[in-house]
Amino acid sequence: MPATVERTPAKPTTARLTFLFRFASTIALWSVALTIVFSGYELGFYALISLLGLLALWEFYGMLDHKGLPNFKITAMICGAIMLCGSFYYFARYGPVRSYDFELAVLLFFLLTVFARQMFESLRDDQPLRTMAYTLFGLLYVLWLFNFITKIVYVTPRLPNGAVTGQFYVFYCIAITKFSDMGAYLTGSLIGRHALVPHISPKKTWEGFFGALFFSLLASVGLYELMPGHLSVLTLPHAIVLGLLLGFAAVIGDLAESIVKRSTGVKDSGNMLPGIGGALDLIDSLLFTAPLLFFYLRLVIRVP
């Protein structure tokens, strides 16, 4: 009995320490990224985003390798680097319109390249289809979605002196995403009783889900009140809607990576970030919140 009493409280204590370390590490890493872009050094921000994106893509294919799932990761890494470099160049120099054309051209090139690569491999049952599907999915799921962080930087017009203004919306997106993560953990650990999707992530609860929405809503409205000049295209109704939408997308993004990890039999995508795991573990929620914010700004608010 004494041994049981000693062990029982250790689990939540360890979980809390892990969460706090993970949360602090995440904030520190993204603070570095935002500090770079706030300084006006766009190339440095692009380099950091590209490094994280390519590392996350490499980790994704590493998880497939762990499960023995076929893929052309070298081909994908080359095409991914081309997409990141070209997208940054076109967005920074010409704005959104020509960038979309370039991005579609890269996706077409990538599709043709994967088919061409498969022609030099033997045909065994459905393995060619599986190889190409896993390879294409990796590029779309990781790099194409993560590249919306770069797009948000340039979604709003530059100032007369040429300085970018979208970095504040990147900060807004990251803050809401991380507040959603924090709300899910705090609410779930305190009052979580009803499992959300136990076959994917046994620790996720419905209470945590609604806690994530509540915290992301608070973060969105709070940033809108604190930074009205830097988030000038938002109104209070937009801040409320975005808080709920991005909070929901953050939960889905976290669960989406859980599906990949559970399917490939790994706990974390990597081990380069103590307390976090890998680069893909760091950006998993942003893979869904960043595109959603970008399209909301473009299609609902209609940022020019």
Q: Which residues of the chain have pLDDT under 70?
A: 1-19, 21-23, 25-26, 30, 33-34, 37-38, 40, 97, 273-276
Query: Is 107 exposed, middle or buried (CB count within 10 Å of its CB: 0-12, 13-18, 19+)?
Result: middle
Residue 55 to residue 42: CA distance in whole angstroms:
20
CB 66 within 8 A of CB 266: yes
Residue 171 to residue 81: CA distance in whole angstroms:
24
Q: What's the pLDDT score for residue 12? A: 52
pLDDT in tens, 58-69: 999 999 999 999
Residue 189 to residue 187: CA distance in whole angstroms:
6
Residue 162 to residue 154: CA distance in whole angstroms:
11
pLDDT in tens, 145-166: 999 998 998 888 888 887 888 8
Q: What's the pLDDT score for residue 1? A: 42
pTM for this entry = 0.88
Question: DSSP per residue over 7-72, as a string?
Answer: HTTHHHHHHHHHHHHHHHHHHHHHHHHHHHHHTT-HHHHHHHHHHHHHHHHHHHHHHHHHHT----
